[in-house]
Amino acid sequence: MSTAKELVDSINSTVTEFVNKTDGSIKPKATPEGMAMAYGSLVIMALIPIFYGSFKSVGYHREQRESGEQVEAMSRREAALFPLYASGALFGLYLFFKYFSKEHINLLLSIYFLVLGVCSLASVVSDFIESFLRSRNISFLRLNKYHLLLTQNTVDMLNMEFDSKDICAFMACSGIGAWYIMKKHWIANNLFGFSFAIKAIEFINLNNVVTGCILLSGLFVYDIFWVFGTDVMVTVAKSFDAPIKLIFPQDFLENGVNGTQFAMLGLGDIVIPGIFIALLLRFDVSLNRGRHVYFYSSFIAYIFGLFLTMAVMVYWKHAQPALLYLVPCCIIFPFISALFQGDLVRLIRYSEDSKEIDESSKKEN
């Protein structure tokens, strides 16, 4: 009798497993190899925009100084209040997802981020085309230049200059945008995520190391509270269907680019440390020593912090606030380097818009 019952239970279990795998209601667990590949890929994908965006920020600041324009920078007060603003926005999204239709909210957000994503990705692609043409002394795509100017009562509402390569880049990226809207494919998501991160690191200015430490410290507390103290961060991250994170399928080895089980890393965990690392690179450039000690020390610190985050997450099987590990690493490593290099005071005093400090730096040199 017991043998017959066990046989029936076995058949039922097999049929249930087959049905679940067929309709996708239950997904097989990711293999350790797949998880290792996914997390390793996320680390590499996080490093690319930080490295590229940091060097782009050096060029951007140089162009601004040469043109005589003042680079807008985040003040210490804004840095201190930023975690509060971010908390309000995060909790507002949480309430929206909890009490309203996720489909309608994600549709609006997808359209909004699609427009931003296409524009930012087109800008990145245009920069690559520019570098390619310049390295080969090719100029045929830059012959046609355009100027779009919209005014209202003698006030410029839109003043935009672009050329043929910008149009080509925009058309190509619009195609990627259409692909993202139709398929929501993770590769299209990551392309937009890359462009957001690169442009943010290039243009967001922390002109003072103290301001950077204030910002990172505030977001350190913010991340810990919203991940460990509540379910808000995890809920929003899973519900927010927009390219604000980098993702990679943990079942890539089994299903390739059509994988469905994703490991993810929020863009905030890339951009926030990234703008601080970019500041340290500009500090290296200001020292004019031909080496980037503080950039690479913070870059290595970021890698260490990211691997530590993922190791803890895998061990405890619980989402981790990445800034809990990234912030101390990105701050401590460069300061230790400055202590050994004898640049600690200089690092703390470094500013990109203070004439007095610039003059004192020239005297020291």
Determine, yes or no, domain membership for 21.
Answer: no
Determine, yes or no, domain membership for 24.
Answer: no
Determine, yes or no, domain membership for 11.
Answer: no
**Parent domain of 243:** 30-364
Dihedral of CA atoms 235, 318, 48, 195 in degrees, nearest 10, equals 0
Write down the pTM of the prediction.
Answer: 0.84
pLDDT by residue for the chain (365 residues), tens only, comes to: 445 445 445 534 443 443 344 344 445 667 888 888 999 999 999 999 999 999 999 999 888 888 777 778 888 999 999 999 999 999 998 998 888 878 888 888 888 888 999 999 999 999 888 887 777 776 554 457 777 778 777 776 777 777 788 888 999 999 999 999 888 899 999 999 999 999 999 999 887 899 999 999 999 999 999 988 888 988 888 788 888 889 999 989 998 888 888 988 989 999 999 999 999 999 999 999 888 999 999 999 999 999 999 889 888 877 788 999 999 999 999 999 999 999 999 999 998 764 434 444 444 44
Q: Which residues are catalytic?
A: 223, 269
Nearest to 360 by CA among 344, 279, 281, 349: 349
Determine, yes or no, domain membership for 15.
Answer: no
Decide if 38 contacts 250 (C-beta within 8 A). Answer: yes
- Tell me: the pLDDT tens digits for 313-328? 888 877 788 999 999 9
Determine, yes or no, domain membership for 41.
Answer: yes
Determine, yes or no, domain membership for 22.
Answer: no
Determine, yes or no, domain membership for 102.
Answer: yes
- Tell me: the pLDDT tens digits for 200-255? 999 998 878 999 999 999 999 999 999 888 889 888 887 888 888 899 999 899 98
Q: What is the 3-state secondary structure (H, E, C) of the chain?
A: CHHHHHHHHHHHHHHHHHHHHHHCCCCCCCCHHHHHHHHHHHHHHHHHHHHHHHHHHHHHHHHHHHHCCCCCCCCHHHHHHHHHHHHHHHHHHHHHHHHCCHHHHHHHHHHHHHHHHHHHHHHHHHHHHHHHHHHCCCCHHHCCEEEEEEEECCEEEEEEEEEHHHHHHHHHHHHHHHHHHHHCCHHHHHHHHHHHHHHHHHHCCCCEHHHHHHHHHHHHHHHHHHHHHCCHHHHHHHHCCCCCEEEEECCHHHHHHHCCCEEEEECHHHHHHHHHHHHHHHHHHHHCCCCCHHHHHHHHHHHHHHHHHHHHHHHHCCCCCHHHHHHHHHHHHHHHHHHHHCCHHHHHHCECCCHHHHHHHHHHC
Total tally of structural domains belonging to the chain: 1
Determine, yes or no, domain membership for 5.
Answer: no
